[in-house]
């Protein structure tokens, strides 16, 4: 018998090494249900990472033993890799495995109002969820570059306001933006067409919704916007025709700014889809309360009034995007899913094997984010408008409105009335990727579950879903606590994979493109929003926008957040083969083929576009929340 242990990884302070080796054994032992792996501590207790073991018998039978875990003790038993549901597996080892994991992976409230997470800084986390040294080094290096450029390059007046809009180009001297989307943003950032386009295909394409009736708190009249409506219809007729859209940042209402030098508001913006299918802003109110001290700004107002009103909308959008759309709805949710996977699903459970490539390392990424980005002295607080108290309030507001159904991509598109909006590439590409994931998940589920009853009897999958809702999401009623059918299971698992891969890619990797030019999306505002018209000049705008220090930190941060890690695994890439059964491997191949078709479709479409949309092309979507 030939016993092949493929790729053990030794992680020690001074090096990383990978070795593969064969062990020849003469004796034929028949069917093999587990192997015992022993590690001798020759020079201290150096941990080893075992990927997998493959055993080939003299008769040609092959047994695979996926491991993908650290060996810190002298001995570890590794079961044969065939996926089994708990009702088909009576081994005590399975219950012991989960009991051990639940003592290690305990829910922890980092801050009130946040989803629950795993306690510990990066170096204190369980070894199986930590980055390897290469990924950890690459992750930290990008942030060290930001700090070095911000701190070392300080010049006289570093903490002062910029003098002119185009002085912001000095922040980009360290970055090559030639022939990039950011270069086009820098050129056209103040054009109304580009303002509206970003809410369809920018970093935060989930705020815009169709408006069929104006809310009472936003009393826009036809007389105000008639010069912006080009079809010869009244505002009411345009509303009924489905040509009016709205952005409402009510979620920011009541969120305190971090100090008296920074300001935050909750604007409302009306958008009009014109005859060229452009999405143009036609009215902006910079608060949730109409009245004399909250005028409605219009494109017909003076140049600086309108420019500043749009800046306020984009600054509010920046805060909501970073802390709700990005942090909460991809990072923190994916961490909840990962913790629940470790706590409730055995390593031989098919859903564990399915989800692990997509949720792994989310815990480590978020531990780093808590240290570097949203801690009391984190860079989001340094260059943003909210502090710890403000983030807590905003997160509380967001958690009250967050629902499981809003994470189902087709449901969210429909709920916002965005099914038929032209040039909404986020929707078009997202639907293709969602359908590919859904089809793949459905194929895998049908392999292991022969009926709805099998789902109902699966105590581990029911425990996983209940853990997410009851603990991770703080006993919310907006998430299911059980699943009754294969169809429900397929949708739930599609949500997990889509959130951690495609949705994160859509709201993360465009940040340098759209936020690199500070006037386009200011991370904070340093003067209060105007309460009257015709009171704003360029000097007031420059004093409102981020100063030199804040600008440098903001640009550096979004640059670091959009770097693709070395040796990144993209959607559909599974070098770590958790599944050993041929039907599951065939499902993976079909998934990869479908993703390749989607990639080619998007590539061909983008060749015809002035502003290509690439964030949801499968070849650019990491398998998990990668940064």
Q: What confidence tens digit (pLDDT) does each residue in 61-119 have?
A: 777 777 777 776 666 777 776 889 999 887 788 889 899 999 999 999 988 889 999 88
pLDDT in tens, 478-487: 999 999 999 9
pLDDT in tens, 156-166: 556 789 999 99
Average of pLDDT values for 584-588? 96
**Rounded Cα gap, residues 330 and 498, in angstroms:** 9
CB 500 within 8 A of CB 362: yes
Q: What's the pLDDT at 133?
A: 60
Question: Where residue 276 falls among pLDDT bands split at 50, 70, 90?
Answer: very high
**Rounded Cα gap, residues 77 and 37, in angstroms:** 6
Q: What's the pLDDT at 489?
A: 98
CB 541 within 8 A of CB 311: yes
Percent of the chain with pLDDT over 70: 86
pLDDT in tens, 465-479: 999 999 988 877 899
* pLDDT higher than 70, residue 383: yes
Q: What is the pTM of this model?
A: 0.92
Higher pLDDT, 375 or 619: 619
Q: What's the pLDDT at 7?
A: 39
Beta bridge partners of 77: 36
Q: What's the pLDDT at 13?
A: 37
Count CB atoms within 10 A of the CB of residue 67: 22
pLDDT in tens, 128-175: 787 766 666 666 666 656 555 554 455 455 678 999 999 999 989 888
Higher pLDDT, 476 or 191: 191
Residue 282: helix, strand or coil by DSSP? strand
Select the highest-mean-pLDDT range: 13-17, 119-123, 188-192, 578-582. 188-192
Average of pLDDT values for 274-281? 97
Q: Which residue has the tokens 């220090």?
A: 549
**Of 9-18, 346-355, 561-570, 610-619, minimum mean pLDDT range:** 9-18
* 391 burial type by CB count under 10 A (0-12 exposed, 13-18 middle, 19+ buried): buried
Q: Where are the beta strands (DSSP E) in 234-330?
A: 244-248, 268-273, 279-285, 296-297
What Cα–Cα distance (Å) separates residue 68 from each residue in 78, 81, 123, 350, 356?
Answer: 10, 12, 19, 15, 10
**Of 374-383, 405-414, 426-435, minimum mean pLDDT range:** 374-383
**What Rg value do the Cα atoms of the chain yield, rounded?**
26
């Amino acid at each position: 018998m030939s016993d092949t242990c493929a790729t053990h990884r030794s992680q020690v302070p001074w090096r990383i090494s990978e070795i593969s080796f064969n062990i020849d054994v003469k004796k034929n032992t028949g069917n093999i249900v587990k192997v015992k792996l022993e590690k001798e501590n020759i020079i201290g207790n150096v941990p080893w990472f075992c990927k997998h073991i493959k055993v080939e018998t003299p008769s040609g039978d092959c047994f695979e033993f996926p491991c993908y875990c650290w060996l810190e003790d002298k001995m570890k038993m590794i079961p044969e890799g065939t996926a089994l549901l708990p009702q088909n597996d009576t081994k005590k080892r399975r219950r012991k495995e989960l009991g051990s994991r639940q003592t290690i992976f305990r829910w922890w409230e980092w801050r009130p109002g946040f989803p629950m997470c795993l306690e510990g800084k990066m170096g204190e986390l369980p070894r199986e969820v930590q980055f390897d040294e290469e990924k950890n080094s690459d992750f930290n290096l990008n942030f060290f570059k930001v700090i070095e450029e911000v701190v070392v390059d300080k010049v006289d007046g570093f903490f002062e306001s910029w003098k002119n809009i185009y002085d912001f180009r000095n922040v980009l001297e360290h970055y090559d933006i030639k022939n990039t989307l950011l270069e086009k943003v820098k050129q056209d950032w103040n054009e109304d067409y580009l303002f509206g386009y970003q809410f369809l295909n920018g970093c935060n394409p989930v705020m815009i919704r169709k408006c069929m009736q104006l809310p009472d708190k936003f009393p826009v009249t036809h007389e105000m916007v008639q010069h912006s409506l080009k079809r010869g219809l009244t505002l009411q007729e345009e509303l009924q025709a489905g040509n009016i859209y709205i952005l409402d940042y009510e979620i920011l209402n009541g969120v305190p700014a971090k100090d008296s030098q920074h300001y935050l508001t909750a604007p409302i913006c009306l958008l009009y889809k014109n005859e060229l299918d452009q999405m143009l802003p036609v009215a902006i109110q910079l608060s949730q309360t109409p009245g004399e001290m909250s005028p409605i700004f219009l494109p017909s107002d003076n140049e600086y009034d309108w420019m500043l009103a749009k800046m306020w909308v984009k600054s509010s959008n920046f805060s909501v995007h970073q802390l709700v759309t990005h942090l909460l709805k991809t990072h923190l949710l994916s961490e909840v899913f990962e913790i629940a996977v470790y706590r409730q699903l055995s390593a031989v459970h098919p859903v564990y094997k399915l989800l692990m490539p997509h949720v792994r390392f989310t815990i480590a990424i978020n531990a780093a984010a808590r240290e570097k980005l949203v801690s009391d002295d984190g860079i989001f607080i340094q260059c943003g408008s909210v502090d710890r108290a403000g983030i807590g309030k905003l997160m509380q507001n967001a958690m009250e409105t967050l629902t499981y159904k809003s994470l189902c991509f087709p449901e969210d598109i429909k709920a916002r009335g965005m099914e038929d909006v032209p040039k909404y590439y986020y929707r078009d590409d997202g639907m293709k990727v969602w359908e590919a994931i859904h089809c793949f998940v459905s194929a895998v589920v049908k392999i292991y579950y022969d009926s709805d009853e099998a789902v109902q009897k699966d105590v581990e999958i029911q425990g996983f879903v209940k853990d997410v809702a009851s603990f991770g999401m703080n006993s919310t009623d907006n998430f299911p606590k059980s699943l009754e059918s294969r169809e429900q299971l397929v949708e739930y698992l599609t949500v997990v994979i889509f959130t951690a891969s495609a949705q994160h890619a859509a709201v993360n990797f465009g940040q340098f493109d759209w936020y690199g030019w500070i006037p386009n999306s200011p991370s904070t505002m340093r003067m209060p929003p105007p309460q009257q018209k015709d009171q704003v000049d360029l000097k007031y705008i420059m004093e409102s926008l981020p100063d030199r220090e804040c600008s440098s930190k903001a640009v550096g941060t979004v640059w670091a957040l959009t770097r693709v890690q070395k040796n990144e695994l993209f959607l559909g890439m599974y070098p770590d083969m958790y599944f050993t059964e041929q039907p599951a491997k065939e499902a993976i191949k079909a998934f990869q083929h479908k993703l390749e078709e989607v990639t080619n479709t998007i590539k061909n479409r983008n060749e015809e576009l002035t502003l290509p949309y690439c964030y949801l092309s499968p070849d650019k979507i990491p398998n998990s929340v990668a940064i």
